[in-house]
Amino acid sequence: MPITKSAKKALRQNIKRRAENKTRKRNLKILIKDARANAAQSDRDKKEAVLPSIYKALDKAAKSGLIKKNSASRKKSRLAKLLAQKSA
């Protein structure tokens, strides 16, 4: 347990940030999971409409350091490839 006042504050900040990061990461995973599930459907307009929102979420996650930049890029690429493949 922290002893100094600054260490106690740092611990409080860490707990808050961890909870927020956990929520954001969970929401990101849900978005990606839904996109993969929708890839099997034949509605092309719906697939193309969901892609920008996923791109935005991935870019914001990479910008804030939640995930790495290359990880976000890889996820975007694979999702786009999957959706293009299923709609063709």
Q: What would the pLDDT profile of 11-34 be if each residue is shown by its tens digit?
A: 999 999 999 999 999 999 999 998
Question: What's the residue count for the chain?
Answer: 88
Return the axis-axis angle of helices 69-87 and 44-64, rounded to nearest 10°: 180
C-alpha to C-alpha distance for 75 and 68, rounded to whole angstroms: 11
- Class of the 5-87 domain? mainly alpha
**Predicted confidence (pLDDT) per residue in 48-73, tens digit:** 788 899 999 999 999 999 999 999 99
